[in-house]
Amino acid sequence: MKKISKHLLILKRRINQESELRELAQIENNTLQLVLNAFVLTKTDSHKKEDIDSFSNCESYRGKLLYDSTEISYEIFQSDRKATVRDICKKATSTKKWCQFLYYLVKTIDNAKVLEVGTNLGISGSYMLEALKNKTGKLTTTEGLSQLCEVASNQFSTIVPKSKFEIVQGL
- pLDDT-derived band of residue 129, with 50, 70 and 90 as boundaries? very high
Residue of higher predicted confidence among 23 and 170: 170
User: Is the pLDDT at 11 greater than 70, yes or no?
Assistant: no
Torsion sign (Cα): 30, 36, 40, 43: positive
Average pLDDT (2-23) is: 71
At position 63, the amino acid (one-letter code) is: G
Q: In this structure, which amino acid lies at residue 24?
A: L
- Residue 45 pLDDT greater than 90, yes or no: no
Which pLDDT tens digit goes with each residue over 51-76? 999 999 999 999 999 999 999 998 88
**119 vs 16, higher pLDDT:** 119
User: pLDDT at position 43, please?
Assistant: 86
Question: What residues contact 94, with CB distance under 8 A and at least 6 apart?
Answer: 102, 123, 124
